[in-house]
Structure 1
Amino acid sequence: MLKHLVDELIPGDTRWPSASEVGVHDVVVLRLFGGRPSPILEQLSTSLDRSPDGFPGTASTDRTAIVQRFSETQPALFEQICTATVLAYYEMPAVIEAIGASGRPYSASSHEGGYAMPVFDLERDTPRHGRGSYLRTEEVMPLDLSSLDLDTVKTTKWGLER
């Protein structure tokens, strides 16, 4: 059932794989339910599996209406599943490959190498919107926090007792 739901959310076409083709439904189960049975899965089943043939056996146009109704009646659960589906989809190697084939730079983990950015140019990058201000690096001074007595002041949530 979840396999068919993720395909309703990301159906795919000749250029892009569908969500189930790349295994998004398995990732969603692991992320949202830890791979264990959950009352949420039962709630999902109850919401989607209302036709005589069950959700997977329902015609595509009817499935779209069922998913629309699900999104309206259980918006929090729908949002959770939809978000997990989209995030998992764009992490899949086949999807990353399809994005690259479209000519867009994309990496599964941008933090490893980052994305190419131009070198900071003072003339080009100085804010001109009139809000805030700009300090040159050598003008930045440390903020004096000595009056806060952070070495001895204790709090319950933060500070020395955390």
Structure 2
Amino acid sequence: MDPGNQKTSLEEFNSWNTDNLQHYLTMRGLTKEGTKDELVALCFSAGKLGLPVKPNQSEVLLDNVKCYKSILSYCDIPDPLTLHSGWFDEKSSISRWPPTFLSDISTFLIDHGDVASLSLVLKDYKVGKSNEYFTCGGLQEVFYHPLDKNTCILKANAVHPKE
């Protein structure tokens, strides 16, 4: 079975059984409902459009771990998840927080070459989602951990916002 060649012909898709057609569509995040003719048409269209195979959950997780480790190495800081003590709650530490502006975050993402995250940050900021995440309870208390005189880590517990 062809994993997604744009040159796959309609006749070739038509020769596939329903299970293979459904698998091809599922891997691209498309519906697998319909008659065989409808599935063939969807597969052919997806192939012509060059729709990519969507990564599975474990691939996304591995990619996130690589990105996380890359950011830690770029900043040369310890992994905040391994720091079990030395954290201060928001109320007692807010006066120690460094000033942080959207331009600081954008500059970091540009320097780091993470255009996708930069785009997301700018879009979310533009529609006020940053504040919305906080006000709807998506971000909970922020904790502060000093590393040295000029460096600290801020972290917050994040939960799925209430609808």
TM-score normalised by length of structure 2 = 0.22
Please identify which structure carries the higher strand content. 2
TM-score normalised by length of structure 1 = 0.22
Higher alpha-carbon Rg: 1
